[in-house]
Amino acid sequence: MATIERLALTDFRRRVVAGAFPDFQRLADAFSAMQFVQADPIRSPARAQDLMLRQRVNGYVAGELEATFPDLDAEEGYLFAYGFMTPEVWRELRWRPIRKLKKLERDVLDAVAELGEVHPRGLDERFGRKSVKNYWGGKSQQTKRILEHLHHHGYLRVARREKGIRVYQVPEQTDGQDSDPRARYRRLVMTTVHVFGASTKTMVVSELRNHNHLLPSRQERLAAVESLIEDGHLKEVQVAGITYLWRRENWLEEEVPDRVRILAPFDPLVRDRTRFQQLWGWDYRFEAYVPAAKRVRGYYAMPVLWRDQVIGWANANVADDRLKVQLGYVGKRPREKAFRMQTEAEVEATSKFLGLPSGAWELAW
């Protein structure tokens, strides 16, 4: 039976933070190493994928991922959330159970194969612009919904984007549809733990619920995770009564620098809200879809990391070509000179990332 390591909360927090921000010089290297980056369409002040990559790629600028996507070895799809991923990860999750395609779906698929690459608007002349109900209760163009459906089930891939809109093509066919579902699930577990860092079994299995078709029973899924521990692919560490899974290559013992980071709400460091509460002792909530009158911290309040502590949040927006940042704190604002200097440096770096001139920002403490 594998030995469970025990760590004090302070040591665990330091290691989790130290391993969360590998430093890359090139986007291609970062993407290959990270394996998955969650996507979100809200731009406040930039999309989540850009905010996350900014923290890990030197000189990264907003929109760089979308602009260079065709030249990256990259795919789009749904792991534990929708995002950008390596082809290896995409192949593991590509095929999903589906009923027989309807005639219109087959016709759309044939049209994409014929045209090579298709923007949703590129099918208007052939199929019209009929609207149907979408996931959120609103209206979407029928052919757009069919393209999304075909992509979700592995019949299409995203070739590139035009102003944020996915452009599709038919991918090369593989035999992934027939591969061992247990092996696929195990590999998805390894990818998920790689992305998040230390994670509980419950959290990993819950996050991968979109792939429950691979192993229909919860008992099977938990057994697959347990087998990774028994095989030595994952280790266990216990912190204040909670047992986490981790990968040795992600476990850094180095010190955390005196640095301020403004993080995306979906950054891997903060996305697991249960781990967040254990590490920092307060509950962070993403409030973009909360009615304005009920928001506590703001529409797109982003966690603020100082050293190895998430001490509060930042709301940021661009108005009149200036970045405006408003900080909020769980407790008292740190009074060290280093905190002020590092916060100003982070806001300056954020403004450059957004393509604004140096000094084009305002900071409300």
Predicted local confidence at residue 98, as pLDDT: 82
DSSP state of 255: P
Q: Which of 324, 308, 306 is nearest to 316 (CA)?
A: 324
Rounded distance between C-alpha atoms, residue 226 and residue 201, angstroms: 9
* Burial of residue 154 (number of CB atoms within 10 Å: 0-12, 13-18, 19+): buried
Max avg pLDDT among 2-6, 68-72, 178-182: 68-72
Distances from the Cα of 6 to the Cα of 237, 245, 276, angstroms: 5, 12, 19
For the ranges 84-88, 126-130, 165-169, which has the lowest average pLDDT?
A: 126-130
Q: Of the candidates 129, 154, 173, which is a domain's last residue?
A: 173
Q: Is residue 218 part of a domain?
A: no
Q: Is residue 190 part of a domain?
A: no
* Confidence at 138, pLDDT banded by 50, 70, 90: low
CB 315, CB 299: distance < 8 Å:
yes
**What is the tens place of the pLDDT at every residue in 38-90?**
999 999 999 999 999 999 999 999 999 999 999 999 999 999 999 999 999 99
* Burial of residue 283 (number of CB atoms within 10 Å: 0-12, 13-18, 19+): exposed
Distances from the Cα of 244 to the Cα of 16, 32, 73, 265, angstroms: 11, 25, 31, 22
Other beta carbons within 10 angstroms of residue 69's beta carbon come to: 19
Where on the phi/psi map is residue 320: left (φ > 0), alpha (ψ -120 to 50), or beta?
Answer: left
The CATH number of residue 125's host domain is 1.10.10
Count: domains in the chain: 2
CA 245 to chain centre: 19
Residue 179 has pLDDT above 90, yes or no: no
Q: Of the candidates 173, 200, 227, which is a domain's last residue?
A: 173
Q: How many residues does the chain have?
A: 365
Domain that holds residue 159: 103-173
Q: Is residue 196 part of a domain?
A: no
Q: Is residue 152 part of a domain?
A: yes
* Confidence at 255, pLDDT banded by 50, 70, 90: confident
Q: Is residue 283 part of a domain?
A: yes
Q: Is residue 300 part of a domain?
A: yes
Q: Of the candidates 173, 194, 214, which is a domain's last residue?
A: 173
Task: List the end-to-end C-alpha distance of the chain, in Å, as a whole number.
Answer: 51
Torsion angle (degrees, nearest 10) of CA 19, 25, 26, 30: 0
**What is the tens place of the pLDDT at every residue in 196-213?**
999 999 999 999 999 999
Q: Is residue 76 part of a domain?
A: no
Contacts of 99 (CB under 8 A, 6+ apart): none
Residue 238 has pLDDT above 70, yes or no: yes
Predicted local confidence at residue 135, as pLDDT: 55
CB 262, CB 302: distance < 8 Å:
yes
* Confidence at 7, pLDDT banded by 50, 70, 90: very high
Q: Is residue 19 part of a domain?
A: no
Strands 4-7 and 235-239: parallel
- Across 8-85, where does the E strand assignment appear? 36-38, 75-78, 82-85
**What is the tens place of the pLDDT at every residue in 290-337?**
999 999 999 999 999 999 999 999 999 999 999 999 999 999 999 999
* Burial of residue 78 (number of CB atoms within 10 Å: 0-12, 13-18, 19+): middle
For residues 81-112, b (16+ Cβ closer than 10 Å) or e, as one string?
eebbbbeebbbbbbbeeeeebeeebebbbebb
Which residues make beta-bridge pairs with 157?
169
Q: Is the dihedral of CA 146, 151, 155, 160 positive or negative?
A: positive
